């Protein structure tokens, strides 16, 4: 390196510039690997159990299952289940079943969501509806949902079943409410918050409640964990909605919300800042938008210039702080530390 730099000072300068660009990013983002440290063994066992829980005798279904388990996501929800259990008691076999249940439900809803959103990319690969068409994607989603429910029934985990079914019901209601409101293009912040509470925060809240319920029967503890998860879930979806205005690289398309005429917080806020004619122009552009790059740029700039991104980020940070306030009321432990980092990861992540 020394001689190389002597030979070419440009290389040295370039490497320093690169180091300075890369370093702050590395420092800012806490890796999921670090976060998983206190539950490393549990997560390894979980993966094995999760894979085992999806196979069947139907050949086509097995081919699709192999495709699904190979393209796993971030596994935030099982991580939440294990950490919540660790914070409130001693991780048990039931915690593992809660983790599998929630990842099965989550995977099912993503498969259905891509059908609903007409989206062809998921986790950096083709979505199921892109490869096997809607019919099969809908059935595979149903199958995963049923496997999740059976896992709980077979083990008589009726408490976990109760918590998760409430979330699944809220998720469907949230997606339907979103579809209903979408058509009118006049969504306001309180309704938006209701939608994301139902479609996303409910399942994340149920992860934390299930983790706690798998290790304690103290319902006030379970409820505190649930409320913590709800705040994390709100921040999580606001971040996801911010991704839609970015340049991609998250393993799923950006601009899909606008394409589907979904108004999310950055756009809702920006639209409320401008005059009637400008407001009308934006609505017209959204109505006619069909993945045209120039129009996307115009909408992204409109949102940015009217403070939509900054506003959504600040709302997200408020939810993060509310989550921290609850988390800090639990006794300190390595699990709590990791959970703290996971909350930060939720708002800082890049995918």
CB 42 within 8 A of CB 100: no
Specify the residue, 103 or 157, whose C-beta has the smaller distance to ligand IPE. Answer: 103
- The total number of residues shown for the chain amounts to 351
CA distances 49 to 53, 60, 93, 171, 291, Å, are 6, 21, 11, 25, 40
Specify the residue, 103 or 240, whose C-beta has the smaller distance to Mg ion. Answer: 240
Pair of tokens at residue 201: 């925060």
Q: Which does 295 bind (CB under 5 to 8 A by kind): Mg ion, ligand IPE, none?
A: none
By CB under 5 A, which span of 5-13, 84-92, 237-245, 269-277 interacts with Mg ion?
A: 237-245
Query: Cα separation of 21 and 13, whole Å?
Result: 12
Q: Which does 200 bind (CB under 5 to 8 A by kind): Mg ion, ligand IPE, none?
A: ligand IPE
- Helix, coil or strand: residue 125: strand
Sketch the per residue contact string, 115 through 144, with ligand IPE: x for CB under 6 A, - otherwise. Answer: --x-x---x---------------------
Least spacing, CB of residue 345 vs Mg ion, in Å: 17
Specify the residue, 157 or 240, whose C-beta has the smaller distance to ligand IPE. Answer: 240
Specify the residue, 199 or 213, whose C-beta has the smaller distance to Mg ion. Answer: 199
Residues 211-270 that bind ligand IPE (CB under 6 A): 237, 240, 252
Nearest in space to 200 (alpha carbons), one of 223, 167, 224, 177: 167
Least spacing, CB of residue 119 vs Mg ion, in Å: 6
Least spacing, CB of residue 57 vs ligand IPE, in Å: 27
Pair of tokens at residue 100: 């599998």
Nearest in space to 145 (alpha carbons), one of 111, 96, 94: 111
Query: Cα separation of 244 and 241, whole Å?
Result: 5
Specify the residue, 221 or 232, whose C-beta has the smaller distance to Mg ion. Answer: 232
Give the residue, chosen from 42, 117, 175, 341, that forms a contact with Mg ion under the rule CB under 5 A.
117
Pair of tokens at residue 217: 């029967």
Q: Does residue 113 belong to the site contacting ligand IPE (CB under 6 A)?
A: yes
Specify the residue, 42 or 117, whose C-beta has the smaller distance to Mg ion. Answer: 117
Least spacing, CB of residue 328 vs Mg ion, in Å: 30
Query: Cα separation of 188 and 296, whole Å?
Result: 21
Residues 6+ apart with CB under 8 A from 238: 196, 265, 312, 315, 316, 319
DSSP per-residue string spanning 43-59: HHHHHHHHHHTT--S-H
Give the residue, chosen from 113, 191, 278, 313, that forms a contact with Mg ion under the rule CB under 5 A.
113
Q: Which does 41 bind (CB under 5 to 8 A by kind): Mg ion, ligand IPE, none?
A: none
Neighbours of 158 (CB within 10 A): 10
CB 210 within 8 A of CB 171: no
Q: Does residue 171 belong to the site contacting ligand IPE (CB under 6 A)?
A: yes
Residues 66-95 that bind ligand IPE (CB under 6 A): 73-74, 76
Positions that interact with ligand IPE (CB under 6 A): 73-74, 76, 109-110, 113, 117, 119, 123, 171, 199-200, 237, 240, 252
């Amino acid at each position: 390196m020394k001689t190389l730099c002597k030979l070419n000072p440009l290389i040295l300068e370039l490497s320093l510039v690169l180091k300075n660009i890369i370093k702050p990013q590395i420092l800012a983002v806490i890796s999921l690997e670090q976060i998983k440290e206190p539950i490393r063994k549990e997560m390894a066992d979980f993966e094995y159990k999760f894979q085992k829980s999806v196979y069947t005798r139907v050949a086509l279904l097995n081919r699709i299952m192999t495709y699904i388990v190979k393209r796993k996501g971030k596994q935030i929800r099982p991580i939440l289940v294990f950490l919540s259990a660790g914070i409130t008691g001693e991780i048990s076999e039931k915690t593992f079943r809660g983790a599998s249940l929630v990842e099965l439900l989550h995977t099912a809803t993503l498969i259905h969501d891509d059908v609903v959103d007409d989206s062809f990319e998921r986790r950096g690969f083709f979505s199921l509806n892109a490869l096997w068409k809607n019919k099969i994607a809908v059935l595979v989603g149903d199958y995963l949902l049923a496997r999740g429910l059976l896992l709980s029934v077979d083990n008589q985990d009726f408490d976990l079943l109760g918590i998760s079914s409430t979330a699944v019901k809220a998720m469907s209601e949230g997606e339907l409410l979103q579809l209903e409101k979408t058509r009118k293009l006049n969504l306001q912040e309180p309704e938006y918050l209701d939608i994301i509470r139902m479609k996303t925060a409910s399942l994340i809240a149920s992860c934390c409640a299930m983790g706690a319920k798998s290790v304690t029967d103290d319902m006030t503890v379970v409820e505190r964990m649930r409320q913590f998860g709800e705040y994390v879930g709100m921040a999580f979806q606001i971040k996801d909605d911010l991704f839609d205005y970015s340049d991609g690289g998250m393993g799923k398309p950006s601009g899909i919300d606008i394409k589907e005429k979904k108004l999310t917080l950055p756009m809702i806020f920006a639209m409320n800042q401008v005059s009637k004619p400008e407001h009308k122009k934006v609505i017209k552009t959204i109505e006619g938008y069909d993945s045209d790059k120039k129009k996307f740029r115009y909408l992204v700039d409109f949102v940015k210039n009217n403070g939509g991104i900054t506003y959504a980020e600040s709302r997200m940070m408020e939810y993060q702080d509310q989550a921290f306030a609850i988390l800090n009321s639990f006794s300190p432990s390595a699990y709590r530390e990791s959970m703290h980092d996971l909350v930060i990861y939720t708002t800082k992540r890049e995918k």
